[in-house]
Amino acid sequence: MDVVHVVLPNDIDDPARPSGGNHYDRRLCQGLAAAGWSVREHAVPGGWPDPTPPERTGLADRLAALPDGALVLVDGLIASAVPEVLTPQARRLRLVVLVHLPLGGDAEAAALAAATAVVTTSEWTRSRLLAAYPLPADRVHVAPPGVDPAPLAPGTAAGAELLCVAAVTPHKGHDVLVDALAGVTDIPWTCVCAGPLHRDPDFVAGLRRRLAARRLADRVRLVGPLAGERLAASYAGADLLVLASRGETYGMVVTEALARGIPVLGTAAGGLPEALGRAPDGTPPGLLVPPDDPAALAGSLRRWLDDPPLRDRLRAAARARRDTLDDWTLTATLTGKVLKEAMPA
């Protein structure tokens, strides 16, 4: 049985700290194990990607304890922060770095240069890495996230139930979303924002003040992180997924919505258009607007809420796109192929 050591952030299974990267890592480990790999997890403590000196030392000790020639898959949140730890180990280990979100800078460049191979979670991310660093193209691969099959969301006639699933941080653009929603208060709607509230308390406090100033506190609910049945219930009750992200490497919540036949209103940021994709007939299953443009987002919200034929077209496209989505088996298969090629001859 082939063995792969997987180095992960230690909050990977913390339900209070959900993230797309953690979910991807967990499902990938499960998929590799199901495909016959012996997966040996090493969850390392640390405030990644900003570890303390003792946390760097802890990672170095963990890697040093692995046998010569070991195949090691390292989450990029860890790897890209500590090239001084990875580079010496690259001489005796087969290191593969899994990049969810490019961090940029010299540290990441050095870490990726030390890797035997790099796996990215979208074509957009791969293109960005190849443009930023002198990496051989044949060493940088893509294994997009999968998605689980899910029941169709019935939707409502008015299309007024809006859902945003994202950590409440500046990067995800909740301030832009609130400003856009303030421009359509003459139309009935409600918006549930599901996602961690602890990552930037000052931003969350400012967002609550923004909601109060625009008299939206009774229409926009910040419900914190949801998982399992509670998250499934939120999707089941939604008409439209709304994401005002300033940047996305992929956007796993997009395919989670599409798996339920829910259209998406998002930004044309990073890999989000890639996740949205198109129905087999070429119709996009949602609307895209520029990032950081509340007026454009408000305009598309108004189109959605005011135009029943548009809602019908987008729902039909989302349901058709649903049938083209890949599950997590493909993610594990693509990554497993990279790991096999990285193994010692």
Close Cβ partners of 108 (under 8 Å, ≥ 6 residues apart):
76, 80, 83, 102, 133
Q: What is the pLDDT confidence band of residue 344, given thresholds at 50, 70 and 90?
A: confident
Q: What is the pLDDT confidence band of residue 16, given thresholds at 50, 70 and 90?
A: low
* pLDDT average, residue stretch 134-160: 97
Is the confidence at residue 15, as pLDDT, over 80?
Answer: no
How is domain 161-322 classified at the CATH fold level? Rossmann fold (3.40.50)
Is the confidence at residue 304, as pLDDT, over 90?
Answer: yes
* pLDDT average, residue stretch 229-249: 97
Q: What is the pLDDT of residues 168-213, one digit of tens each?
A: 999 999 999 999 999 999 999 999 999 999 999 999 999 999 999 9
How high is the pLDDT of residue 34?
97
What percent of the chain has a predicted confidence (pLDDT) above 90? 93
CA–CA separation, 2 and 149 (whole Å): 29
Q: What is the pTM of this model?
A: 0.93
Q: Cite the beta strand spans of the chain per DSSP E.
A: 3-9, 38-44, 71-75, 94-99, 117-120, 140-142, 161-165, 190-194, 220-224, 240-242, 264-267, 286-289
Q: What is the pLDDT confidence band of residue 345, given thresholds at 50, 70 and 90?
A: low
Q: What is the pLDDT of residues 119-136, one digit of tens each?
A: 999 999 999 999 999 999
Task: Check: CB of residue 116 under 8 Å from CB of residue 95.
Answer: yes
Is the confidence at residue 14, as pLDDT, over 90?
Answer: no
How is domain 3-146+327-342 classified at the CATH fold level? Rossmann fold (3.40.50)
How high is the pLDDT of residue 166?
96
Pairing of strands 286-289, 264-267: parallel
How high is the pLDDT of residue 37?
97
How high is the pLDDT of residue 121?
97
Query: Is it true that 3-146+327-342 and 161-322 share their CATH fold?
Result: yes
Q: Provide the residue ranges of all domains of the chain, joining segments of one domain with +.
A: 3-146+327-342, 161-322
Q: What is the pLDDT of residues 69-113, one digit of tens each?
A: 999 999 999 999 999 999 999 989 999 999 999 999 999 999 999
